[in-house]
Copies of this chain bind each other. A is one copy, B any other.
Amino acid sequence: MRLRFLTVFVLLVGAVSWAQTPQPQIQPVVSPEVHPDGRVTFRLLAPKAQEVLLRGDWMSGATSEKFEKDPATGVWRVTLGPFQPDIYGYTFSIDGAVSLDPRNTETKPSSRTSGSSVLDVPGKGTLYEVRDVPHGRIEAQWYKSPAIGGTRRFFVYVPPGYDKDPSTHYPVFYLLHGSGDTEGEWPWYARANFIMDNLLADGKIRPMLVVMPFGHTVPANDLTPESRPRNTQLMEDDLLKNIIPAVESRYRTLPGPKNRAIAGLSMGGGQAINVGLANLDTFSWIGVFSAGANGGGAPRDTKGFETKVAGVLADAAATNKKISLLWIGCGREDATMKSAEQLTGILDAHKIKYTFRQSDGAHTQRVWRRYLAELAPQLFR
């Protein structure tokens, strides 16, 4: 992994793309700098700025932190924490403009903006620690999508050992991201591959393929109320008609619903419960991370969902027989909890069995990484 936190300032002649433009001859800043005690100093070179703020995904509500400027250097700084070893996202506001931390090389990808900067507070024993164990690989696969139009991409986690025995076939876990994310959310930001490597090395999961598609099937910037059900329907079409056939023709997969799982976070959780319940002949394992019947956020009209899966809800005996596991998780500090409870209410009313995991945490990937590590060991048993 790349060294991102230099403890000494180094002269960076030509390192910055703006270096050729006239600017104060100062030593470039280091940001973020993680101190041994877990506190973190963020810095920004912005000689002419009036106000610099930081917003982190660990802050609740509309709060932000103010930087202070060193007038001699034009460097703004703020020290926060201590932070527990984990991965955090943040952005700066420079005179009202949202910006990444220009000195941070690692970015959480986004389908709406330039994303957010990644604060990686290292530590032993994290779920995604790069341990000395066999590593799987991530494959980027392109496929034609008549369902949506054009050529699209999904990522696949291929477990270590896959190439060893060409007669072995694998179950497949379809893992969906949230609104505003990309297909890079799970592999690059959540580090799903290292989580799976570690679970496998510890004997906690069955070897499986994890497929991570792009879940915005209408433009990600379209947030009109009509777009959500259309997005879910197109995702269902794309999965059933394009993605699953592509996966099963390109990889050695095991057939049938007992060998296919679908789970997602937030928007992807809404997709998983809709697509999963409506297609129990395709999936028998369903995971819903911090979502209700309509995805993340505040409770929304669930009529569309209840209509779509009316037959499944009406026949609890048959449905419960088909479902191997319906796992719902939500953080107690997550505003989506009300949506999740709305969903469990519907399931209760129809006597559909499920597991409801109420955990610590808010609406962040720090919670969903843990859910992945809790759910994956239960799959395909």
Contacts and interface: CB of A to CB of B under 8 A. Distances in A.
A45 B180 contact: no
B15 A223 contact: yes
B49 A94 contact: yes
Interface stretch (A131-139, A228-236, A373-381): A131-139
A142 interface: yes
Contacts of A361: none
Contacts of A11: 223-224
A15 B94 contact: no
A107 interface: yes
A55 interface: yes
A46 B96 CA distance: 5
Contact of A12 (B50, B57, B139, B223): B223
A144 B133 CA distance: 10
A248 interface: no
A340 to B, nearest CB: 18
A101 interface: yes
A64 B18 CA distance: 9
Copies held by the complex: 2
Interface in A148-188: 150-152, 163, 166, 180, 182, 187
Contact of A114 (B89, B105, B138): B105
A44 to B, nearest CB: 6
Given A114-B104, A151-B135, A93 B18 contact: yes
A276 to B, nearest CB: 25
Secondary structure call for the A interface = loop
| Interface size of A as a range | 35 or more
A76 to B, nearest CB: 9
Interface in A91-130: 91, 93-105, 107, 109-117, 130
A62 B21 contact: yes
Contact of A138 (B103, B140, B163): B140
A5 to B, nearest CB: 10
Interface stretch (A213-221, A277-285, A299-307, A343-351): A213-221
A48 interface: yes
Interface in A290-335: 297
A18 B135 contact: no
A55 B17 contact: yes
Given A45-B96, A102-B98, A220-B2, A15 B114 contact: no
A94 B97 contact: yes
14 contacts: A10-B219, A10-B223, A10-B224, A11-B223, A11-B224, A15-B113, A18-B55, A22-B62, A47-B95, A49-B95, A103-B113, A130-B151, A137-B142, A163-B250
